[in-house]
Structures are given as structure tokens and as C-alpha cells.
Amino acid sequence: MESLRKDLGASFKNVVIDENDGAVTVVVQSEKLQRSEAASIIAKVSTSLNVSAGSVLVKYLP
């Protein structure tokens, strides 16, 4: 998970990843989050952590 956090950290100021019972919440610090960026995050997380894309929630905070 640390490598995933570093990978996402290259694009966002702060990144928090919380995994709980197969559901993953990713919070990034960004003024805006485009749909394409959220889709990319979901793809990376689902591949790296071997969870379904539907189990990944992405949030952003300014």
C-alpha cells in the first residue's frame, strides 16, 4: 500500500488510503478532481490492492 500511496502522492499533495473489510477509501488533497483523475485513481487502487472498482471510494479535500 505504501508504493500506491507514493505513486498517488506524485500527483496530489496529500494522500490517505483506508482499507476496511474489502472497501477502500482514498482521500486526496486537490483544489479540483476531474472525473478522469478519479477514474485513474480507482483503476490504480483496484489493481494494486486486488479489489473491485466498485469497492473504491475517492474523495478530495481542498
Q: How confident is the model at residue 1 (pLDDT cuts 50, 70, 90)?
A: confident
* pLDDT score recorded for residue 28: 97
pLDDT confidence of residue 56: 98
Q: What is the pLDDT of residues 7-61, one digit of tens each?
A: 999 999 999 999 999 899 999 999 999 999 999 999 999 999 999 999 999 999 9
All three cell numbers of 44, joined, read 490504480
DSSP state of 60: E
Q: What distance in Å separates the CA atoms of residue 59 and residue 12, rounded to the nearest whole number?
A: 12
What pLDDT, on the 0 to 100 scale, is given for residue 48?
A: 94
